[in-house]
């Protein structure tokens, strides 16, 4: 678990849209933004993904790649990505390995019931593979801009 800032994130790989697997080591030399979200095709997750879509070109200009992660299936991700015209890939984590690695699974209240789910969270990994920023319990409005501001300021 990358439990502290400036710690190296352990190598991991996972299935993602686009027909290839994500591998952390494949992106060394670039900043990596990983945003964890609860579920495809829900209002907050749709709004958040659109916000990241809209700043994607600016992120690329800052040597930054972005990936969304949820427990949804690859099939669900492919549909969500196509529906929103997302220019970046979505990583599937059905067995919660990445969710556990980044400690984003929380008990949440849904319609008066306790359910276990993903706490909306975003992480920035630097070019050397170190965790340099995290946002937990993310509120969607203005979050994508805060991420862009952070990667713009970091070296």
**91, containing H or E segment:** strand 90-92
Q: DSSP assignment, residue 63?
A: T
Cα–Cα distance for residue pair 155/115, rounded to 1 Å: 39
Cα–Cα distance for residue pair 106/96, rounded to 1 Å: 12
Of 45, 90, 118, 125, the active-site residue reads 45
* Residue 7 among the catalytic residues: no
How confident is the model at residue 155, as a pLDDT? Answer: 64
How confident is the model at residue 31, as a pLDDT? Answer: 97
pLDDT digits (tens, 9 = 90+) for 113-130: 888 899 999 999 999 999
Cα–Cα distance for residue pair 46/130, rounded to 1 Å: 28
Distance between first and last Cα of the chain:
24
16 pLDDT higher than 90: yes
Residue 48 and residue 121 in contact, taking contact as beta carbons nearer than 8 Å: no
How confident is the model at residue 1, as a pLDDT? Answer: 46
Q: DSSP assignment, residue 79?
A: H
131 pLDDT higher than 50: yes
How confident is the model at residue 36, as a pLDDT? Answer: 98
The model's pTM: 0.94
Closest CA relative to residue 73, chosen from 113, 15, 27, 30: 15
- For the chain, the average pLDDT equals 93
For the chain, the residue count is: 155
- What 3-state class would DSSP assign to 107? strand
Domains of the chain in sequence order? 13-153 (3.40.30.10)
pLDDT digits (tens, 9 = 90+) for 52-103: 999 999 999 999 999 999 999 999 999 999 999 999 999 999 999 999 999 9
**Long-range pairs of 103-112 with CB within 8 A, sequence gap ≥ 24:** 103/1, 103/3, 104/36, 104/136
């Amino acid at each position: 678990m990358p439990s502290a800032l400036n710690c190296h994130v352990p190598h991991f790989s996972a299935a993602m849209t686009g027909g290839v697997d994500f591998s952390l080591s494949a992106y060394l030399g670039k900043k990596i933004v990983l945003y964890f979200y609860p579920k495809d095709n829900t209002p907050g997750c749709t709004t958040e993904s659109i916000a990241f879509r809209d700043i994607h070109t600016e992120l690329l200009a800052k040597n930054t790649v972005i990936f969304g992660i949820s427990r949804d299936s690859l099939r669900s991700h492919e549909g969500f990505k196509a529906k929103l015209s997302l220019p970046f890939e979505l990583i599937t984590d059905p067995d919660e390995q990445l969710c556990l690695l980044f400690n984003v699974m929380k008990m949440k209240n849904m319609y008066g019931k306790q359910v276990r789910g993903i706490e909306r969270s975003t992480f920035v990994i630097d070019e050397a593979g170190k965790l340099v920023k995290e946002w937990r319990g993310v509120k969607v409005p203005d979050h994508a801009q805060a991420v862009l501001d952070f990667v713009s300021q970091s070296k």
